[in-house]
Structure 1
Amino acid sequence: MPAPSITFAGLPSGARTAIEAEIGSILRVEDVSTGLNSSLSALAHTADGAVFLKGLRADHRWVWTQQREADINPYVTPLAPRLLFHVIAGGWDLLGFEAIDGHHADYSPGSPDLPKVTGALRELSSLPCPDIELRRAEQRLAGYVADPADAKAFAGNALLHTDWNNHNVLITHDRAHLVDWGWATRGAAWLDPAHWIIWLIAAGHTPASAEALAGRLPAWRSASPRAVNAFALASVNLWAQIAGAAPDEWTKTLLAATKLWQRHRNGHS
């Protein structure tokens, strides 16, 4: 279930006061649409510039993702925007990031954003995995594979983002920035390109053309066909669970993309 959304004005006064204590007086606020993992998503403008705010109630079941983002941020900048503050006040867990003046990545075939996204994937693969608490890919996906032993192929010591929703990739004039690190994971290096393939297919690529784009990344080329097949099946099962009995259009699209990719993989086993 998505986190219920709230506007900045709807926050308790204690939470708003705590934010202003960190960034100064707020002149105006733009509330922006939230993703699945955040209730508050807003751009606060101060005399010194803009700050991106995100937050969850302190008792929300996903509030641990806020701490994960705070913990990992020093290790992933400048690929990610710099964290300016992390406070808990008024019953809310709140993060403030430097604002990125860019647009959400366009993953469609022929998009000029694709080389920049590829560059971000390559940059991420070069970063060492920090010695902090992270979920492990083989554990996250263990319940979705056909054979529990297949999940072993997902193990590794690479730092993974895992959520390549194009809204998590902001494109500026010179590069791609990656946001929303709450589900950062430790695992096999090829898994992030594999996650990206699903979003490329959802954006209109054929499975073959999506794999060709991923094939420009050394991390992807390290994957065995058997391991990729296991991941493709796990992705179908994962998105089927997310979709449930009454999926919205967004989840329908992602589920269809995973099924299309798995059929492609079966034809090339």
Structure 2
Amino acid sequence: MRQQKEFFKRQEVKEKRETSSVKLPKLDMCSFNGNKLKWSEFWDTFECTVYRNRNLSNIEKFSYLLNKLFGEAKGAISGLALSHENYEVAVDILKERFGNKQEVVDQHYKEFMNIPSASNKVYSLRAFLDATERHLRSLEVLEENINQHVFVSMIRSTLPEDILRQLEFNKGTKTEWILYALRHQIREYVTACEKAEKKSDEYKEGAKNRNVPDKKMSSSASRFKQQNHYQQRNPSFQSRIPISRLSSSTEYLMASTKISFNPSITQTSGMSVRRTRR
């Protein structure tokens, strides 16, 4: 009985050692520069990986925190010495300075109203859609009611006239715009434009490749033109072309228009060529 207890105890210690020796993947934490819209993303990551880590001392946590801050955020706690007590003080300062919920909400509204108007270009429509969705989704997370007609009016006022006309045609005349439907229509329109643009680029690239002449053929044609030009300016050059070369080259076709062959004049040493003048 005693041996069994010792055996189970040794197994439990062994399992604990194996569990503690497991290496977790390294997380690359984002840095924070004082942008209030990025505070929630930064703090959620830091809180999960460092703040709640019981294996780290406050000095180590404070050091991690300082290494991930820069700009205005680092300046907010620059006067604090690296100590055990100052770690919680630094966290409180950062939360009070950059984590105020109402200020974050106000900043999202402000930036939403300052989104640049979209143009007919696909990249402009995509940038407009991404910025709109980013602020609206953030406001939803902050428990703001975005199902308001004011958002519909603001989005419609920043779209090009022809695109807005297409969206109105898709919606129909018997229904009123709601924010969800407008966002969905814009998303579908931008996605369709991106697919069409990609197909157009692939077609242009294929046509371009088909129109590229073969380099070998191009160089041969260039030499042929140069030699033809020389022969036209120097008619006596044709009589000096060897028969063996003429019979197996393109020059034979050119020379044959000015050189006639008499099959009756044939010797064992070869074939004589008689030039005829036109």
Normalised by the length of structure 1, the TM-score is 0.23
In proportion to residue count, which structure has more helix? 2
Q: Which has the larger radius of gyration?
A: 2
Normalised by the length of structure 2, the TM-score is 0.23
Q: Larger RCO: Structure 1 or Structure 2 (Cα < 8 Å, ≥ 6 residues apart)?
A: 1
